[in-house]
């Protein structure tokens, strides 16, 4: 009897069935095929226009869809012999095809001629790190991967090498192994526009002496040549547009200080070194020392490290004027907050700049100077970076920055988790080009100079109905025993909204037991007060009674860009890589 039970379990785990059309799909086919067994090109065109919201659809478009479905569903030699009728199964295959029926349009469609300050810009933090912030290798590989994903802002921390005659990229005062700056620059040049033609901004955290700054300037100019953009004057009243900067490389860093007289390094450390060092390192303080033993760091506090650094570098004791060629390369001039936050957020009508705040500084500024943040970001650039205690390269809630107009919400792209899923999803908008036009209410003030208030309770602007029909593809992308050793998986879906606090919510379907192609057929309604900034969050999990539920895929989709109708929605893994086959069939309706 025991042997018989084992056999039953073995056969159950391989049981699956092809995804079949749901009732709504059958009804749509019957309606537009006018009760017939197959659909004509004009009937499909009518479905595309009326049910899918594709106003410009033509009969030729419908015919191309039909032909592609025939190619995908039938062997090529048979597809060429005849044009079989477009059946219900063909119709269902079209709807469930990510290639033919995606939830987002793939083209750039935002106005790209406004100043850079009017756009959210896909921004990386410590772009050269392969792993954690303390002991991972530095490499150009994560830079290449970020650019291939569409990231437009690459951050490089530049330091003298051990011989003080060249420049390395590394996370200073940690055990991260360096990579040469020239290697990073060459990789940026090669891959900058592989995913998007719009400008790549290199933010430099500069820890160099003037002679090495001059070497950086020469290196940058020789590497990028005509790709490099830099302004005619040191300051300008507004930034250029992404369209005007297509296929260009831009440098952003703090303008080098000019020292009119020699100071001891100790004095400079007090009044200038902290301005020139990366903002992230200032936040480390006690937290770094707490884990120095674990990472085998030297048992010295930051002051002792600085003193020894000074002893090693006599040049630092008498820094002279920064080389003019280096200063001239800076298109986006950066700085950290000085004095009171209201002063740091002051808007100068004669020039624009970039300000960097840590995630904690942003939270404090949002609580006390929310309106100042909004006015600042209408003209200037605001960069937000992770707090220094995120040693494992985790990330934070990006919406705090986005709802206050911050253009550069910098993330550790080598990490993963729900925050990074939101970032990936947000930048699927506008064809995935890495620049997203901010809503008008974030770039324009009202008649009395009033600005958007993220804390205000606003009326519902739009209602989104989401129906989750079914899922498929796990049987192709996962081993038969990945979720359960003895039976098919028990899938459920979590669906909700990420956005302003009033819109944020998550809901859940029922669990479908023992099925590789689960059919939920459930609808959820979401009311949205700020749909322009909302993301639709979708996660699939496999229920496990005794342990943590298994992960089955996720995606985040910009609500403002959702194509209405029945759509195929591809899912992604933990790290944001798209599965080959896993997808959901869903319907989106705006009311």
Indicate which residues carry an active-site annotation. 125, 171
Residue 382, H or E segment = strand 381-385
Token digits for 97? 């095809």
Of 29, 18, 17, 16, the residue nearest 95 (C-alpha): 29
State whether residue 400 is helix, strand or coil.
helix
**How buried is residue 459: exposed, middle or buried, by Cβ count under 10 Å (0-12/13-18/19+)?**
exposed
Contact by Cβ (8 Å): 169, 405: no
How far, in Å, CA of 47 to CA of 130, rounded? 48
> Around 485, how many Cα atoms within 13 Å sit in the side-chain half-sphere?
1
Secondary structure (DSSP) of 407-474: SEE-B-TT--SHHHHHHHHHTTSGGG-SEEEPPHHHH---TTS----TTS-PPP-EEEEEEEEEEE-H
How far, in Å, CA of 584 to CA of 122, rounded? 27
Residue with tokens 């879906």, as numbered in its chain? 493
Instruction: Say what the alpha-carbon torsion angle 389, 392, 395, 396 is, to the nearest 10 degrees.
Output: -40
**How buried is residue 152: exposed, middle or buried, by Cβ count under 10 Å (0-12/13-18/19+)?**
buried
For residue 255, the 8-state DSSP code is P
How far, in Å, CA of 10 to CA of 3, rounded? 11
Phi, psi torsion values for 164, nearest 5 degrees: 60, 25
State whether residue 25 is helix, strand or coil.
helix
How far, in Å, CA of 278 to CA of 356, rounded? 10
């Amino acid at each position: 009897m025991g042997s018989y039970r084992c056999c039953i379990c073995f056969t159950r785990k391989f049981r699956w069935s092809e995804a079949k059309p749901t009732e709504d799909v059958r009804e749509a086919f019957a309606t537009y095929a006018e009760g017939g067994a197959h659909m004509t090109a004009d009937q499909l065109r009518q479905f595309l226009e009326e049910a899918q919201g594709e106003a410009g659809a033509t009969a030729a478009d419908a015919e191309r869809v039909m032909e592609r479905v025939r190619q995908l569903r039938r062997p090529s030699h048979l597809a060429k012999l005849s044009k079989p009728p477009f059946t219900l199964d063909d119709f269902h295959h079209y709807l469930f095809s990510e290639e033919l029926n995606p939830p987002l349009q793939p083209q750039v469609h935002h106005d790209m001629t406004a100043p850079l300050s009017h756009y959210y810009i896909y921004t990386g933090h410590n772009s050269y790190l392969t792993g954690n912030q303390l002991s991972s290798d530095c490499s150009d590989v994560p830079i290449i991967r970020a650019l291939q994903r569409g990231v437009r802002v690459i951050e490089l921390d530049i330091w003298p090498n051990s011989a003080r005659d060249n420049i390395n990229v590394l996370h200073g005062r940690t055990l991260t192994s360096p990579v040469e700056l020239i290697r990073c620059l060459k990789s940026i040049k090669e891959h900058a526009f592989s995913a998007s033609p719009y400008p790549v901004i290199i933010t430099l955290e500069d820890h160099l002496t003037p002679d090495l700054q001059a070497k950086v300037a020469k290196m940058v100019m020789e590497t990028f040549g005509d790709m490099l953009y830099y302004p005619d004057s040191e300051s300008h009243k507004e930034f250029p547009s992404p369209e005007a900067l297509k296929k260009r490389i831009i440098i952003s860093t703090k303008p080098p200080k000019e020292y009119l007289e020699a100071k001891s390094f100790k004095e400079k450390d007090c009044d200038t070194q902290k301005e020139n060092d990366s903002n992230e390192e200032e936040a480390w303080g006690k937290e770094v020392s707490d884990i120095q033993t674990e990472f085998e760091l030297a048992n010295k506090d930051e002051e002792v490290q600085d003193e020894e650094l000074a002893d090693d570098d006599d040049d630092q004791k008498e820094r002279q004027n920064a080389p003019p060629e280096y200063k001239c390369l800076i298109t986006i001039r950066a700085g950290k907050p000085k004095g009171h936050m209201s002063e740091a957020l002051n808007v100068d009508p004669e020039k624009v700049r970039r300000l960097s705040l840590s995630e904690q500084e942003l939270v404090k500024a949002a609580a006390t100077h929310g309106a100042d943040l909004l006015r600042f970001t209408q003209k200037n650039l605001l960069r937000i970076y992770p707090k220094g205690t995120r040693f494992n390269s985790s990330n934070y809630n990006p919406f705090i920055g986005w709802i206050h107009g911050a253009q550069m919400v910098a993330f550790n792209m080598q990490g993963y988790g729900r925050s990074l899923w939101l970032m990936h999803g947000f930048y699927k908008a506008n064809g995935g080009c890495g620049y997203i036009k901010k809503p008008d209410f974030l770039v324009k003030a009202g008649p009395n100079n009033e600005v958007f208030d993220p804390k205000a309770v606003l009326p519902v602007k739009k209602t989104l109905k989401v129906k989750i029909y079914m899922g498929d593809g796990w049987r192709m992308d996962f081993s038969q025993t990945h979720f359960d050793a003895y039976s098919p998986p028990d899938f459920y879906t979590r669906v909700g909204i990420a956005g302003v606090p009033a819109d944020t919510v998550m809901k859940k379907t029922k669990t479908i037991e023992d099925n590789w192609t689960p059919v939920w057929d459930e609808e959820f309604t979401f009311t949205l007060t700020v749909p322009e900034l909302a993301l639709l969050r979708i996660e699939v999990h496999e229920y496990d009674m005794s342990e943590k539920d298994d992960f089955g895929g996720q995606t985040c989709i910009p609500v403002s860009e959702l194509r209405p109708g029945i759509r195929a929605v591809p899912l992604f893994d933990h790290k944001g890589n798209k599965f080959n086959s896993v997808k959901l069939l869903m319907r989106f309706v705006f009311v």
